[in-house]
């Protein structure tokens, strides 16, 4: 098992490759994170046969930056401009990875990366299953005094991914959250599930809540997420019943 640097869809991608990979897992980091950081939070996935892939979001990691700053009066707009760019790039990475490796694809994201997971599902992207760690399918509430000028970001507020559940195609989705998350309150995650539930068949939309956990992907969350993905890799049906 080893770590390699690849180029996929014109982007530098960090890949952790097991000897006999069973599936691809594209991991999307959060705001002010990096490809290296998100992979460090997913222990055991490589040993379970997942070929892990991660790239840096726009303005993050080795990309030209810096990340959005809360001191910027257009901070929220900047955050979701990053999210929109990250979603577009992730789609390109996923498609090229599938062509190169010929393996089923799974998706995982943490915090802002979880929002990007929702954004991709709402756009019709169809991984075998997905994990949303410490995130929501709704954009953050605008702080007092913040403004949004970009019409693409305005559209995220007018039509959040979580309110487009019919477009998710029943892709198996597990939300993992902590009771003490002060960045993305637990209620925002619950609001997401409430909005999606009418569009999901039984057994494909799930939640795991860790008592006392804050805004971090804990080892327990990582283990629960891995078990969920393994279930859909080994015994579950692909989205659409294929």
For the stretch 145-180, pLDDT in tens is 778 899 999 999 999 999 999 999 999 999 999 999
pLDDT bucket at 235, cuts 50 / 70 / 90: low
Residue 80 has pLDDT above 50, yes or no: yes
Q: Look at the chain and report how many structural domains it folds into.
A: 1
Query: Is-above-0.85 flag for pTM?
Result: yes
Question: Residue 145's pLDDT is what?
Answer: 75
Alpha-helical (H) ranges within the chain are 35-40, 75-101, 112-122, 151-158, 186-196, 219-234
Residue 14 has pLDDT above 90, yes or no: yes
CATH number of the domain residue 214 falls in: 3.40.50.1820
Question: Residue 233's pLDDT is what?
Answer: 93
Mean pLDDT of the chain: 94
Question: Residue 147's pLDDT is what?
Answer: 80
Percent of the chain with pLDDT over 90: 89
Q: What would the two tokens of residue 192 be?
A: 């997401």
Residues 6+ apart with CB under 8 A from 141: none
Q: What is the mean pLDDT of residues 128-143?
A: 95
Given a contact cutoff of 8 angstroms between Cβ atoms, the answer to whether 132 and 174 are in contact is: yes
For residue 78, cis peptide bond before it (omega within 30 degrees of 0): no
Given a contact cutoff of 8 angstroms between Cβ atoms, the answer to whether 161 and 84 are in contact is: no
Question: Residue 234's pLDDT is what?
Answer: 80
Q: What is the mean pLDDT of residues 53-59?
A: 98
End-to-end CA distance of the chain: 31
For tokens 């943490």, the residue is 110
pLDDT bucket at 236, cuts 50 / 70 / 90: low
Torsion of CA 128, 196, 165, 208, to 10 degrees: -30
List, for residues 33-47, the tens digit of each pLDDT value.
999 999 999 999 999
Residue 241 has pLDDT above 50, yes or no: no
Question: Residue 242's pLDDT is what?
Answer: 27
Backbone angles phi, psi at 177, to 5 degrees: -150, 165
Question: Residue 1's pLDDT is what?
Answer: 61
Lowest mean pLDDT across 36-40, 91-95, 168-172, 238-242 = 238-242
Find, among 164, 166, 114, 168, the residue nearest to 140 by Cα: 114
CB burial class (10 A; 0-12, 13-18, 19+) of residue 135?
buried
Residue 117 has pLDDT above 90, yes or no: yes
pLDDT bucket at 71, cuts 50 / 70 / 90: confident
| Structure-model confidence comparison of residues 54 and 74, the more confident one | 54
- Distance, in Å, from the CA atom of 228 to the CA atom of 169, rounded to the nearest integer, reads 18
- Distance, in Å, from the CA atom of 43 to the CA atom of 172, rounded to the nearest integer, reads 21
- Distance, in Å, from the CA atom of 32 to the CA atom of 36, rounded to the nearest integer, reads 12
Residue 112 domain boundaries = 2-241
Residue 75 has pLDDT above 50, yes or no: yes
């Amino acid at each position: 098992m080893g770590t390699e640097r690849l180029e996929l869809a014109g982007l530098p991608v960090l890949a952790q490759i097991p000897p006999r990979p069973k599936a691809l897992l594209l991991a999307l980091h959060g705001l002010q994170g990096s490809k290296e950081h998100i992979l460090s939070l997913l222990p055991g996935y490589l040993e379970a046969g997942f070929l892990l892939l991660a790239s840096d979001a726009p303005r993050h990691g080795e990309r030209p930056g810096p990340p959005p700053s809360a001191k910027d009066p257009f901070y929220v707009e900047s955050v979701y401009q990053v999210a929109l760019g990250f979603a577009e790039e992730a789609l390109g990475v996923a498609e090229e990875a599938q062509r190169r490796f010929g393996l089923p694809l799974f998706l995982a994201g943490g915090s802002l990366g979880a929002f990007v997971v929702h954004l991709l599902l709402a756009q019709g992207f169809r991984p075998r299953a997905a994990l949303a760690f410490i995130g929501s399918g709704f954009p953050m509430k605008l702080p007092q005094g913040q403004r949004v000028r970009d019409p693409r970001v305005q559209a995220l507020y007018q039509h959040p991914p979580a309110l487009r559940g019919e477009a998710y195609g029943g892709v198996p989705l597990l939300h993992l959250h902590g009771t003490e998350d002060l960045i993305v309150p637990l209620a925002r995650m619950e609001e997401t599930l409430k909005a999606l539930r009418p569009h999901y068949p039984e057994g494909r939309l799930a939640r795991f809540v860790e008592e006392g956990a804050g805004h971090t992907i804990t080892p327990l969350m990582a283990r629960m997420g891995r078990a969920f993905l393994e279930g859909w890799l080994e015994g579950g049906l692909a989205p659409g019943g294929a």
